[in-house]
Structure 1
Amino acid sequence: MRTPPRSPSATEVLDAVRRHWLPGAETAVHLPVGFGAHHWRIEAAGGPALFATLDEPSPTRSAASFEAAYEAARALQDTGLAGVLAPRESVDGRVLTEVGIGLLSVTSWHSGRTPTEREARGGAHVARTLELLRALHGAPPPGALQRWAPRVGGDLARRVEAVTDGPWTSGPLGEEARGLLRAGLARIGQAERRYRELRAREEARSAHRVPTHGEPHWANQMLTDAGTLILVDWETLAAAPRERDLAALPEAVQRAEGADPGMLELFALEWTLSEVEEYLRWFRAPHTGTADDRIALRGLREELQR
């Protein structure tokens, strides 16, 4: 996120890191990177830096699901599986601790960069990504691995229709967001009906589930200074059809991998509908028009145009 959260403060994050991971931590600096979670760089005198992340539970993603995903990611990393950057265990053996409005985790710091979207669609990079995903999909499922569960609440179109019936005074972008959602009602309803059909089909073939990252797109990848490709943000790790990850790859690769078109459509629809639901909550809540708010409004518009 581009702007620091209302809670916790950098001081509270630093105190939590000292108590649970690194007693010698000296500074916590908020990083204006990513979207959806907050991040800090943690510095300690004479020691390696840490990367702290604050995840906020929601009605469709509980605290327990974050913890299970991170524990499973740590188990995969401990087996030596390539491309996994999992949270560190705290002094009390956990991967998360409650701080302010969210759940704090830390990983080791890696110097590197996020590939550009265009770069990530290049043949050589796609081949590297596919290699990591094949290894993940073939890995023995860790004991903590949770089953994929739909991230879209029931009757989304009905709820959108009900709450957009009158003005939104929650903030400067509320009315524009409400107008976009109101205009997109028919499209939301159509997507939701198709999503339900495909969910029922997936349930009938649930034996095909494997460990999946969930969102292995370019923004959740990192090219380290050493030239290694790693996947970050493992909070969506779950047992699901491999198409959940293949949906992030070009169509030619999906065909070559024998991906089921219906399952690819299921997870494309889940992404769009879950984003719409998240932005619905976002703009009904108080907001002030920050850079994050404007990014969210642009995201809502893009999802409704898909």
Structure 2
Amino acid sequence: MLDRPEGLDDADLAAALTAGWGWRADALTYRPVGFGAYHWTVTDHDGRCWFVTVDDLTVDPEPADAVHAALTRALRTAVALRRDAGLEFVVAPQPTAAGQPAHRLDARYAVSVFPVVDGAAGRFGPHRPQDVPEVLELLVRLHAATPMVAGIAQRAELE
């Protein structure tokens, strides 16, 4: 998202990080990157850097509570794939102090916090031929972990 979220400033986000994760944000930088959510890099009081995502729960035609429930389920799935299934390539959110994968800021917004991953962003589209074996290996490992998340992940029907 190129523009900042309506009605949410850095002070609101800093307060949400304190309320949800119990830490103080020393530096917040808005990042107009990605698709479908708003993003910041945040340095906490211990000097750790985080990638923070704010999802607008009202952009979907579904009620905000249903959107939040689906977001929470998806983030819990990522946590389980990383923690329980041992898939080190899954970037999962840092749970809140209450153990939740996201913090509901208000009726409109939910905040989630991820570790910053060093590297260069890829491009959407076909994989380079030399990367296909590694991508296939990751997909095999991901699908083999299905039993670990069967009770969490939402099933997508192919209609």
- Aligned partners of 2:105 and 2:111 also within 8 Å: yes
Alignment of 1:114-193 (within 5 A): 114-117=121-124, 121-139=127-145, 140-142=147-149, 143-148=151-156
What value does the CA root-mean-square deviation take over the aligned residues?
A: 2.0
Deviation string 1:134-179 (CA, Å, 9 cap, x unpaired) is 1111112323222225xxxxxxxxxxxxxxxxxxxxxxxxxxxxxx
Unaligned runs of 5+ in 2: none
DSSP 3-state at the match of 2:140:
helix
Q: Hey, what's the Cα distance between the residues in 1 that align with 2:134 and 2:11?
A: 39
Of Structure 1 and Structure 2, the greater helix share is in 1
- Aligned partners of 1:77 and 1:85 also within 8 Å: yes
Deviation string 1:231-259 (CA, Å, 9 cap, x unpaired) is xxxxxxxxxxxxxxxxxxxxxxxxxxxxx
The 1:127–1:7 alpha-carbon spacing in structure 2 relative to 1, beyond 3 Å, is farther
The 1:46–1:98 alpha-carbon spacing in structure 2 relative to 1, beyond 3 Å, is closer
C-alpha deviation, 1:22, in angstroms? 4.4
Of Structure 1 and Structure 2, the greater strand share is in 2
The answer for the alignment partner of 1:84 in structure 2 is: 90
Q: Hey, what's the Cα distance between the residues in 1 that align with 2:15 and 2:119?
A: 27
Moved beyond 3 Å, runs of 4+: none
DSSP 3-state at the match of 1:129:
helix
Unaligned runs of 5+ in 1: 150-197, 200-306
State the percentage of identical aligned residues. 30
Deviation string 1:245-299 (CA, Å, 9 cap, x unpaired) is xxxxxxxxxxxxxxxxxxxxxxxxxxxxxxxxxxxxxxxxxxxxxxxxxxxxxxx
Q: Hey, what's the Cα distance between the residues in 2 that align with 1:14 and 1:130?
A: 40
- Aligned partners of 1:97 and 1:104 also within 8 Å: yes
Q: State the structure with more CA Rg.
A: 1
2:6 is aligned with 1:25: no
Q: Hey, what's the Cα distance between the residues in 2 that align with 1:44 and 1:145?
A: 31
The answer for the alignment partner of 1:155 in structure 2 is: none
The 1:127–1:21 alpha-carbon spacing in structure 2 relative to 1, beyond 3 Å, is same
TM, length-normalised to structure 1 = 0.46
Alignment of 1:1-306 (within 5 A): 1-57=1-57, 58-60=60-62, 62-79=67-84, 80-100=86-106, 101-117=108-124, 121-139=127-145, 140-142=147-149, 143-148=151-156, 199=159
DSSP 3-state at the match of 1:30:
strand
- Aligned partners of 1:17 and 1:23 also within 8 Å: yes
Deviation string 1:176-208 (CA, Å, 9 cap, x unpaired) is xxxxxxxxxxxxxxxxxxxxxx61xxxxxxxxx
Number of paired residues? Answer: 150
- Aligned partners of 1:63 and 1:103 also within 8 Å: yes
- Aligned partners of 2:80 and 2:148 also within 8 Å: no
DSSP 3-state at the match of 2:101:
coil
DSSP 3-state at the match of 1:89:
coil
TM, length-normalised to structure 2 = 0.84
